[in-house]
Chains A and B, each alone.
Chain A
Amino acid sequence: MVGGTAKRPPRPTGEAVLEIDGLSVALPKGADREHAVDNISVSVAPKEIVCLVGESGSGKSVTAFSVMGLLPKGQLAPVAGRIMLQGEDLLQASEARLRDLRCTRMSMIFQEPMTALNPVMSCGNQIDEVLRTHTTMSQAERQTRILDILEQVHLPEPPRMAASYPHQLSGGQRQRIMIAMALVLDPVLLIADEPTTALDVTTQAQILRLIRELQERHDAGVLFITHDFGVVAEVADKVAVMQWGRIVEFGDVHQVLTDPREPYTRMLVSSVPSMKPKLRGAREPAAYILQTKALSKTYVDRGFLRKSTVVEAAKDVDLQVSRGETVGIVGESGSGKTTVARCIVRLIDPTSGDIMIDHYNIATAKRGELHDLRRRVQIVFQDPYRSLNPRRTVGASIIEGPMNYGQRRADAESRARELMDLVHLDPSSLDRYPHQFSGGQRQRICIARALAMGPDLLIADEAVSALDVSVQAQVLRLLDDIRNEFNLAVLFITHDLRVAAQICDRVLVMHKGEVVEQGTAHQVFSNPRHAYSRALLDAAPGKDWEFGELLNAER
């Protein structure tokens, strides 16, 4: 219990707030490895941000949950080591003691603020609940405290924010509420579990700045979990690189990012795409495969007995892609980039404008004509876990398209084997089911399925966004090889500027449904003209670091 004045307990300077020493957490029997976290040691000093970085399944989150005492009961249990929070071993602490410590001495913020907040309580009440549980403050004191912390996280009009419910706020605002809730009792340790992963890049930059600022003001130590090396470069003082539950490297951020000692770290860091566009040889102009003219998609929500609302998801989009060229569309969520892609594939019907494939217009094509045109445009989606039918073998998925167009099964199957080979998968695994493949492998299968149609244009809709950075690098390389080999036109849609810089010849920047800037990748990245493009590039985390470049040059 913290008293009404909530005096911070005196802390010996220089001593670590959090010291994890030889922690091991056992996985249930039958898992792919024995320990989720295996003999790790990390310490966090006051005013210090320590990043835990690693690919999915490396044990980052398990570490965070162990500290908070939030491991799922009966499935994961710490079996060795100590977790010292200011000299107190959390693994020995009782459940009641842990409950007291949470929010007062250690707090956590999560990846998805919408699910972490209670949707039926106003934000102010949720912060109030923390204060009521842990302090003896009066109603008036609590109210001032809430408004004060909302002010600190730079939310406009704190009284209005306190009265509003989570669904009325934007993702960034919700994350600010989470941070306010975490810091309202001045904890000495803040654990941030991928706090910006669900946010747009410009919002992410603001939240990262906010965490830095508050952590300094509150003298808190931060254990920051992320998979994004850009974010690491932006916020970290120290970095711990995790792989298979072990810490492979722990050191100063500068040393780890520029001079990694371990080969695994080196591989990871060199997989991070550089913000500097690759210089590609100038290509002789080819005829456009895809050309959209004033493509627009408007959603009208016609209300019964109420005003109808109109949303312009895409407005007058003109874009051209020619053979052998990769054109990127970058923008934040809601910018309309996916709408454009779905219109081109005619998964949705555009409201107006033309989509020309050669001299055929997809936008107005009727059923039979559309059926013929579908073969020429193929799409690869973001989520590799949902883009293959779980009940069908990958072989069945790949041959389905060609067979829809009258190809014989035997021909389609032999082509499928060739394609599996092409995407670097074992052709004999065609009769397996999607759940037997990893995310990166599934994305390769999706690419094979698209290629089986023999398309002229391949649309990659955030196709590498869900992948770990090392797998991402491989899939990007594969896409580039395929473009070369088949002389494909590729429309690459992404929110990740680094990826766009690496793979695109030309880039379009979209904002609120409109194309605000387009040009060669080099032009847009080195000399953005539109204010929004500049803001977007400015917000990219770790933009001053040349991850890939540096290490590739060394090799």
Chain B
Amino acid sequence: MSQADKTDAPLDVQIEADAASQAAASVRQLNLAQRLLRHRSVIFGGIIMIVMLLISMAAPYLGTIDPAYIDPTNRNKKPGYEAMVQDQYDKEIQRTYWMGTDALGRDIYSRVIYGTRISLVVGLAVAALSVAVGLAIGLLAGYVRWLDSVIMRVMDGLMAIPGILLAIGLVSLSGATITTVIVAIMVPEIPRVVRLVRSIVLSIREEPYVEAAVAIGTPLLKLLARHILPNTMAPLIVQGSYVCASAILVEAILSFLGAGISPETPTWGNIMAEGRVFFRILPHNIFFPGVFLAVTVLAVNVLGDGLRDTLDPRLAKRI
């Protein structure tokens, strides 16, 4: 019957179709992974993030000691200080404090390396949770019209709460645990995700293909999952990366203010808060965690930009 088509359709239609399928083929040859790997900022941000992940996982094997170990004899030492310490088998060994020690004689290097864990866990958890919760609420607000104004007014209310204040409140109410901090940072991020998802749903629901799906009797959940949800994925991943970067920063700020995770836990913010007093004479207390924080946040943001360029067709450069 394709033969019938060939005779039926004028030549230009055929050629148009052939050209279209050829163009499609060349686009398909570059699948998503390949396109991501061609983007410099994705590679740059991705590599740094992978390194940070490895550091956090391999923290005990990177020549660290117990980050909470207080050694009154080695207080406020500068980077590069060498001393004899006991290892875990009570053997005396020579150890170099590459990043010096703080006012209680704790090893900054170990604290910074272990701090990577907290920062990444907080960043990734906040990003994943706020995107998941925001996606569900946003889909409902966008598609179920009568819910929209109710949900969005609640979201407006949430956005009006200053994030740091909310965190301080929550922490003082329920204690300085990592869960509290994650919840405290996540809550103010949710409305942003909801707004993003809702706006996408509002435009996609008017697309004729969604209306056609309604006309062929597609049930609501299938309709949302098949026809609407896929359109929100790319912008959500991008938004998620920004949420992650800001969560890492906010966690550090909270710790710095003393409203975050309890001070004996090594986090970048805690280390900087404790080093603040002697900042003029012992800047290494702030410098090293600061560098780690800056590099990580930069990497996440750069990665987010790269993802946006490759995933979001509206912003992507034409191939």
State the A residues within 8 Å of B (CB): 30, 32, 55, 57, 243-244, 267, 345, 347, 371, 374-375, 377-379, 381-383, 386-392, 397, 400-401, 404-405, 420-421, 424-428, 432-433, 435-438, 440-441, 446, 449, 452-453, 470-471, 474
Question: Are A424 and B1 in contact, with the CB atoms below 8 A?
Answer: yes
Question: Are B217 and A389 in contact, with the CB atoms below 8 A?
Answer: no
Which of A378, A389, A391, A421 meets B1, CB within 8 Å? A421
Question: Are B8 and A424 in contact, with the CB atoms below 8 A?
Answer: yes
Question: Are B2 and A438 in contact, with the CB atoms below 8 A?
Answer: no
Q: Chain A contacts of B16 at CB under 8 A?
A: 32, 57, 438
Q: Chain A contacts of B4 at CB under 8 A?
A: 424
Closest chain B residue to A392, Cβ basis:
B226
Question: Are A426 and B5 in contact, with the CB atoms below 8 A?
Answer: yes
Which of B5, B9, B215 meets A379, CB within 8 Å? B215
Question: Are A471 and B217 in contact, with the CB atoms below 8 A?
Answer: no
Q: Complex Cα distance A474/B1, Å? A: 16
Question: Are A446 and B212 in contact, with the CB atoms below 8 A?
Answer: yes
Question: Are B8 and A474 in contact, with the CB atoms below 8 A?
Answer: yes
Number of A-B contacts (CB under 8 A): 108
Question: Are A435 and B1 in contact, with the CB atoms below 8 A?
Answer: no
A-B contact pairs, 13 of them (CB 8 A): A32-B19, A32-B22, A57-B16, A267-B10, A386-B207, A401-B217, A404-B219, A420-B1, A424-B8, A426-B1, A436-B17, A437-B17, A446-B212
- Give me 19 other A-B pairs in contact (C-beta within 8 A), A345-B215, A425-B2, A426-B5 excluded: A30-B26, A32-B22, A32-B23, A267-B10, A375-B217, A378-B216, A379-B211, A383-B208, A389-B209, A389-B226, A401-B216, A404-B216, A404-B218, A424-B8, A426-B1, A426-B2, A436-B24, A453-B217, A470-B12
Closest chain B residue to A345, Cβ basis:
B215
Q: Chain B contacts of A471 at CB under 8 A?
A: 9, 13
Q: Chain B contacts of A389 at CB under 8 A?
A: 209, 213, 226-227
Given A387-B212, A474-B8, A404 and B217 contact (CB-CB distance below 8 Å):
yes
Question: Are A470 and B10 in contact, with the CB atoms below 8 A?
Answer: yes
Given A391-B230, A392-B226, A374 and B216 contact (CB-CB distance below 8 Å):
yes
Question: Are B217 and A405 in contact, with the CB atoms below 8 A?
Answer: yes
Closest chain A residue to B26, Cβ basis:
A30
Question: Are B10 and A379 in contact, with the CB atoms below 8 A?
Answer: no
Closest chain A residue to B233, Cβ basis:
A391
Q: Complex Cα distance A29/B214, Å? A: 42
Q: Complex Cα distance A30/B216, Å? A: 39
Q: Complex Cα distance A392/B216, Å? A: 15
Q: Complex Cα distance A391/B230, Å? A: 8
Q: Complex Cα distance A341/B129, Å? A: 42
Closest chain A residue to B16, Cβ basis:
A438
Q: Chain A contacts of B10 at CB under 8 A?
A: 267, 470
Which of B5, B20, B213 meets A424, CB within 8 Å? B5
Which of B13, B22, B24, B213 meets A440, CB within 8 Å? B13
Q: Complex Cα distance A42/B216, Å? A: 50
B3-35 CB mask vs A (1 if < 8 Å, else 0) is 011001110110111011111101000000000
Question: Are B20 and A436 in contact, with the CB atoms below 8 A?
Answer: yes
Closest chain A residue to B5, Cβ basis:
A424
CB distance from B314 to the nearest CB of A (A): 13
Q: Chain A contacts of B2 at CB under 8 A?
A: 425-426, 428
Which of A55, A383, A404, A433 meets B12, CB within 8 Å? A55
B139-173 CB mask vs A (1 if < 8 Å, else 0) is 00000000000000000000000000000000000
Given A378-B215, A426-B1, A474-B8, A435 and B20 contact (CB-CB distance below 8 Å):
yes
Q: Complex Cα distance A367/B86, Å? A: 75
CB distance from A136 to the nearest CB of B (A): 42
Q: Complex Cα distance A446/B5, Å? A: 17
Given A421-B1, A425-B5, A426-B1, A435 and B24 contact (CB-CB distance below 8 Å):
yes
Question: Are B24 and A433 in contact, with the CB atoms below 8 A?
Answer: yes
Question: Are A347 and B215 in contact, with the CB atoms below 8 A?
Answer: yes
Given A435-B24, A471-B13, A347 and B214 contact (CB-CB distance below 8 Å):
yes
Q: Complex Cα distance A345/B226, Å? A: 21
Which of A377, A379, A433, A440 meets B212, CB within 8 Å? A379
Given A243-B12, A440-B9, A474-B9, A432 and B21 contact (CB-CB distance below 8 Å):
yes
Q: Chain B contacts of A55 at CB under 8 A?
A: 12
Q: Complex Cα distance A374/B289, Å? A: 62
